[in-house]
Amino acid sequence: MSSSLGRKSDNLSDTDSLSDGSEDEAAIYAKKLREKLRRKGKGVSAKADPNSSESSDSDNVSSEEDEDKVKQEDRDSESGSNWSDSDEEEEEEEKEADGVKGNGDVKLQQELRESLRELPLKRLEKLKRDGINGIPLHKALGLPGPGSINNWLAGNFTNEKMTDTGNNEPLSKATKEEKYTIEKRRNKHAPLEVSSKQRVSRFRQVVHVPQAKRRDPRFDSLSGELKPDLFDKSYSFIDEYRDKEIEDLKAALKRDGKLRRKKNRKGRKGKKILEESEKSEMMAKLTRLQQEKAARKRNRTSRKVKSKANKLESEKVAAGLKRPFYLKKRDLKELELKEKYEGLKNEGKGKLDKYIAKRRKKNAQKERTLLPWQQ
């Protein structure tokens, strides 16, 4: 038992040198053992009257004998001799010594932490850098690494290695996580504390400047309800720009076709023909603009037919001739087709006949059945 105490005192000798007011742990354990031996009456005389001088002398003699016995037992244990007590007494002494050891370690840990906190910053940094007698400071304190020293000094780390109860079994992963826990707050009502050692960003917004929020008029009620007829009338100049762009593309492609038909460079008079990639881009753009123009025209025709039919229905309902009735999609489609034919007829130049012949040819291709050898 004394050999284990001797080893423990040797391991903690480096850490004890840091705290000025902390007692030697081995001395504490020896003192507790002497008190226990004195209580058991090993070499101690019976209790006498405290007022008599004889009793005091006998107490002094017995205490000196006890100290001699303890020293002799320590020497015997170091030289390899066994304890002369029985197994039961050894177990009781070990249990009591372990209890004293745990309490002393907790007290020692607190005193060591306070003494390190009181050290000047330069001295503390030197201890972290050089260590104690060649041993790194975190190893002397029993911490997992150098980065945990500051947390241990702040009380955020609970160092269980210094308050070990003598069990040297390997720790499991869950036990390690439980032993080193970082406390977020002292209690649930305390505010969160941020370390003052964290570097603050250089770019900070001292005065909050409100940013202008973007507003999309298409989805904002401030712009009101969209009226397509009024919109087309207000932005009719955009259609003029588009028509002019279509004419320019047609003229450029026509001019390029004429230059390509000429065989020699003299006939081109120094004019360059378009590259294939540039020509294909121009043709794709022309097709897209023409399709968008046709789609806008169809939408305007559809809105015109629908508004005209609704106006007629509302007039008849107001006159009391009929009840409200809403046209079906099929009826609207027929009215749109009728309006389209009338527009082609007004344009003249046989456009209506050409359009009807084209539609008949397309419908004939759909209705045509393939022969068995053509399938």
User: For residue range 54-80, what is the model confidence (pLDDT) as tens digits?
Assistant: 444 444 444 555 556 656 655 654 444
The per-residue pLDDT for 35 is 65
Both ends of the chain: CA-CA distance in Å?
Answer: 104
User: Mean pLDDT over residues 309-333, rounded?
Assistant: 86
The per-residue pLDDT for 237 is 95
Report the C-alpha gap between 131 and 150 in whole angstroms: 15
How far does Cα 12 stand from its chain's mean position? 43
Q: DSSP E strands: which ranges in the chain?
A: none
Report the C-alpha gap between 304 and 287 in whole angstroms: 26
What residues contact 161, with CB distance under 8 A and at least 6 apart? 142, 143, 179
Same domain for 122 and 14:
yes
Higher pLDDT, 317 or 200: 317
Same domain for 354 and 239:
no
Same domain for 18 and 72:
yes
pLDDT surpassing 80 at residue 266: no
User: Mean pLDDT over residues 256-281, rounded?
Assistant: 79
The least confident of 45-49, 132-136, 151-155, 322-326 is 45-49
Q: Give domain status of residue 44, yes or no.
A: yes
Of 147, 165, 183, the one marking the end of a domain is 165
Report the C-alpha gap between 182 and 158 in whole angstroms: 8
Q: Give domain status of residue 173, yes or no.
A: no
314-335 burial: b if 16+ Cβ within 10 Å, else e: eeeeeeeeeeeeeeeeeeeeeb
The per-residue pLDDT for 280 is 93
Residue for token pair 């940094």: 125
Report the C-alpha gap between 54 and 39 in whole angstroms: 20
Confidence of residue 163 (pLDDT cuts 50, 70, 90): very low
Token pair, residue 98, equals 């372990």
Q: Among 145-149, 202-206, 341-345, which range has the highest average pLDDT?
A: 341-345
User: Mean pLDDT over residues 365-374, rounded?
Assistant: 68
Q: Give domain status of residue 203, yes or no.
A: no
Give the number of other Cβ atoms within 10 Å of residue 228's Cβ.
Answer: 10
Confidence of residue 174 (pLDDT cuts 50, 70, 90): very low
Same domain for 286 and 334:
no
Same domain for 266 and 241:
yes
User: 92: burial class by Cβ within 10 Å (0-12, 13-18, 19+)?
Assistant: middle
Give the number of other Cβ atoms within 10 Å of residue 101's Cβ.
Answer: 22
Element (H, E) at 170: none
- Residue-by-residue DSSP string for 36-54: HHHHHTTT-PPP--TTSHH
User: Mean pLDDT over residues 173-201, rounded?
Assistant: 65
Same domain for 100 and 44:
yes
pLDDT surpassing 80 at residue 82: no
Measuring CA to CA, how many Å separate 239 from each of 85, 293, 347? 114, 8, 20
What range does the domain containing 118 cover?
2-165
pTM: 0.40
Same domain for 292 and 156:
no
pLDDT surpassing 70 at residue 353: yes
Confidence of residue 12 (pLDDT cuts 50, 70, 90): very low
Higher pLDDT, 114 or 371: 114
Same domain for 160 and 11:
yes
| Count of the separate structural domains present in the chain | 3
Report the C-alpha gap between 43 and 342 in whole angstroms: 135
Same domain for 157 and 60:
yes
Give the number of other Cβ atoms within 10 Å of residue 116's Cβ.
Answer: 19
Q: Give domain status of residue 82, yes or no.
A: yes
Q: Give domain status of residue 127, yes or no.
A: yes
Q: Give domain status of residue 34, yes or no.
A: yes
Mean pLDDT of the chain: 70
Q: Give domain status of residue 356, yes or no.
A: yes
The per-residue pLDDT for 288 is 96
Report the C-alpha gap between 321 and 268 in whole angstroms: 72
Q: Give domain status of residue 244, yes or no.
A: yes
Report the C-alpha gap between 270 and 265 in whole angstroms: 7
Same domain for 89 and 14:
yes
Report the C-alpha gap between 309 and 34 in whole angstroms: 116
